[in-house]
Amino acid sequence: MLPVVAQYFSKYRVKHGIIEFIEQQHETADGLFVNIHYILESNELEIEKLVSPGFDNTNVNIGDHHSVFSLFHQLLPGLIKENCYAHVLHNSVKNGNEHLLIDIESALLKIYVHFCRSTVRSYELKRYFDFIEQEQKVILKHIRIRWLSLLQSIDRLFIVYPVVKKFFISNSGECTLYFLVNVLKDVQDTNLRLQKYYTTGVDLHSIITSFICKLNNRLHEEFFGHKVNELLKKIPHSNEVDDLVESFRLFIHSIINYIEKYYHERSSFYKSISIFSETDIDKIQWRSIEQCATFIDNKKIDKDLLYNEFSQIKSKYIELKEKFGGIHKQIEAFIPSNLIELQQAKITNYDKTDLLNEFDNLDHSDTNEDNCDTRFHKDQKKRPLIRCDHLGAYLLNDENVPHLQKLVQFSFSVPASNAFCESIFSHMNFWGIIVETK
């Protein structure tokens, strides 16, 4: 069962909604295309307004020759090809693993099997925790297809390290383990940024370029972690040190090259729409707006009217930014008040044939969007931050700027990852377990 989901810019912020589920035994490109096309039409969604279909990174979905994307692209030549960058980051680490002197993924799986399939060895682990008077921690199984499980598995491994040290008795094994803990933290932080429900294509340029910059800095300064540097100094053989350092450099180079292979082709597009991630509107120049508009059919955007509308909104921002306690205070008041109004409208005007079935209660954390919008501003009292989609919604509210609004809606509808769809599967499994236990 596959969810068909829409990401769009609503009157108040970026939103997600489930349109329908597809039940398809064989996931072929033709079959998926026909079903998705039918669902969009049957829900009276205009195919021409599709901006960038988001999928996970399989050939069936986004392959160059015959895929769901290529079939849609035949209908809509201006369609933006989108990769799931959470998958890209995950795969970049898997790709880089071949350059390390020890296969950490295989080692973790062997350790898991070694302890968890033997009662005697499990008891040995329990005795260790009894000895140090701590609550026993089980070894976490690393699942190769999960985005963030490798670092968690390594972190847990350090807790039980004295018991399993024989698996990493060599210098290369121990150094590699500490190296991965250091570097994978950057990967995981970036992946978590990509998975936030309000992260969209407008944020992608900043996220990817800053991550690559961090990795390049590590290469330039040859910093692989303080603990790694200490261990390297203790290794008596210079050849072994050189081999380890070279493996770390190749690992990082491999991650950079893998990400750039996907990102480089569309970097100009992501850089162009990234202007809408800027929350200081004073810094946005007309030429940037004009460049962004080139990605939309010229028949849909009148550049002269767009310029006037941009000037109107920029003037509004300049006028309001220092009033009423600052722009962040105005947005903080605008978002909750409109959410209350929206919820009341849902109660009084509920329509089962609505464009999208809202999915706000999917999660009680990041994807519970209404509560998170309010909580986001409450959490920023000490250091006010402004979400770019909230700012855009606030400035466009009650303004007659159809061309600029179209450009904003276009940009914010581009997904950065497939995380929302992945979270649906997780919650389907979660609620399935609850139903079974009742």
- CA-based nearest residue to 101, from 10, 6, 170, 184: 170
For 180-225, what is the HEC assignment? HHHHHHHHHHHHHHHHCCCCEHHHHHHHHHHHHHHHHHHHHHCCCC
**Structural domain span for residue 230:** 86-267
CA 111/CA 164 separation, integer angstroms: 8
Dig out the tokens for 404 from the structure: 């600029």
- Residue 111 included in any domain: yes
- Residue 274 included in any domain: no
Q: Are residues 314 and 401 in the same domain?
A: yes
What one-letter code names the amino acid at 127?
R
Residues in the chain: 438
Q: Are residues 76 and 214 in the same domain?
A: no
How many domains does the chain fold into?
2
Q: Are residues 240 and 319 in the same domain?
A: no
Task: Out of 267, 284, 317, pick the residue that ends a domain.
Answer: 267
Q: Are residues 198 and 249 in the same domain?
A: yes
Q: Are residues 223 and 154 in the same domain?
A: yes
Q: Are residues 24 and 129 in the same domain?
A: no
Q: Are residues 220 and 98 in the same domain?
A: yes
- Residue 113 included in any domain: yes
CB 70 within 8 A of CB 33: no
Q: Are residues 332 and 432 in the same domain?
A: yes
Q: Are residues 138 and 157 in the same domain?
A: yes
CB 15 within 8 A of CB 8: yes
Q: Are residues 122 and 251 in the same domain?
A: yes
Q: Are residues 75 and 222 in the same domain?
A: no
Helix intervals (H) in 235-326: 238-263, 267-273, 286-293, 303-320
Torsion of CA 83, 88, 89, 91, to 10 degrees: 160
pLDDT of residue 404: 96
Q: Are residues 394 and 415 in the same domain?
A: yes
pLDDT of residue 98: 87
- Residue 380 included in any domain: yes
- Mean pLDDT by runs of 10 across the 438 residues of the chain is 88 89 83 91 90 85 87 90 90 88 71 61 55 44 52 61 55 84 90 91 97 97 93 91 95 96 93 95 95 82 94 95 87 71 43 38 43 51 75 94 95 92 73 49
